[in-house]
Amino acid sequence: MKKVLKVAALVVCVCMLVCAFVGCAGDDKKDVIVMGTNAEFPPFEYVTENGIVGQFSGIDVAIAKEIADSMGKELVIENMEFESLIMALATGKVDFVAAGMTVKPDRLESVDFSDTYYLAKQVMIVKEGSDIKSAADLEGKKIGVVLGYTGDTTVTETLGYEPERFKKGADAVMDLVNDKLDVVVIDSAPAKAFVDKNPGLAIVEDAEAFENEEYAIAIPKGDTELADKINTVLKELKESGKIDEFGATYSE
């Protein structure tokens, strides 16, 4: 009899534990929305002392905060390598990706994108006085790109050069400053941020060699409900001029 009681008590305990745990997990999921990013891409996402969410700040973080607020959820940021973002989204580790991410056909195979919110281009960062004046001058030069960025595929596949690949734009720019590279190919807005921070560097554009790119928020394939919610917020932010305001605020 005693044994039966003990077993019954144990069963009740386990049930209570399981219920408490499931209850908690359920609540967490309801209150939180997780953004995946690579916070090495100023002015869109970067690490700073007092960010919008913890140490994270930038245009994308400001947009994501608006999205989370509109859903009554707390924004949580998962910072990881740019290369890992699409996989993290496809496997449900993050709810969406805001990372200055360009809409590209190969990415569309694994994820969907929101409406676009920013027009960008690849540019070349060089040392002032460099003889690189156009993409054709990249021939024979030591070129730095960031692994997996559109700059990487453009230089490699479209232009046919073999660049050196870095994990962070800032590391490539450091090597340019230290004369280990001749040029860094990267998106226009971070290029400006890096040049503003490092005297002696300049931006060279080549509108013919580098096509326009558009940034959007990546969402899980088929999640039209989330897409609608995000697009509604993006539309409001665009129409009210807030995205431009974010651009001005976080580019300083």
Chain residues binding ligand GLN by CB under 6 A are 38, 41, 82, 99-102, 149-150, 187, 213
Residue closer to ligand GLN, measured from CB, 71 or 156:
156
How large is the C-alpha radius of gyration of the chain? 22
Return the structure tokens found at 122. Answer: 């690849």
Residue pair 187/112 in contact by the 8 Å Cβ criterion = no
In the complex, what is the shortest distance from the CB of residue 183 to ligand GLN, in angstroms, rounded to a whole number? 17
Residue 214 CB burial class (10 angstroms; 0-12, 13-18, ≥19): middle
Question: Reduced to 3 DSSP states, what percent helix, strand and coil does the chain have, rounded to the nearest 5?
Answer: 45, 25, 30
Q: Give whole-number Cα distances, 138 to 125, 172, 195, in Å.
A: 12, 16, 19
Nearer to ligand GLN, 41 or 96 (CB): 41
Q: Which residue is nearest to ligand GLN (CB)?
A: 102
Which SS3 state, helix, strand or coil, does residue 202 take? Answer: strand
User: Measured from the CB atom, is 71 or 90 closer to ligand GLN?
Assistant: 90
CB 245 within 8 A of CB 66: no
Closest distance of CB 41 from ligand GLN, Å: 4
Of the two residues 60 and 95, which places its CB atom closer to ligand GLN in the complex? 60
Provide the minimum distance between the beta carbon of 42 and ligand GLN in the complex, in angstroms, as a whole number. Answer: 10
Pick the closer one to ligand GLN by CB: 186 or 227: 186
Task: Report the DSSP pairing between strands 143-146 and 183-187.
Answer: parallel
Report d(CA 134, CA 123) in Å as an integer: 10
Query: What span, in angstroms and rounded, lies between the C-alpha atoms of 39 and 41?
Result: 6
Q: Which is nearer to ligand GLN, 186 or 237 (CB)?
A: 186
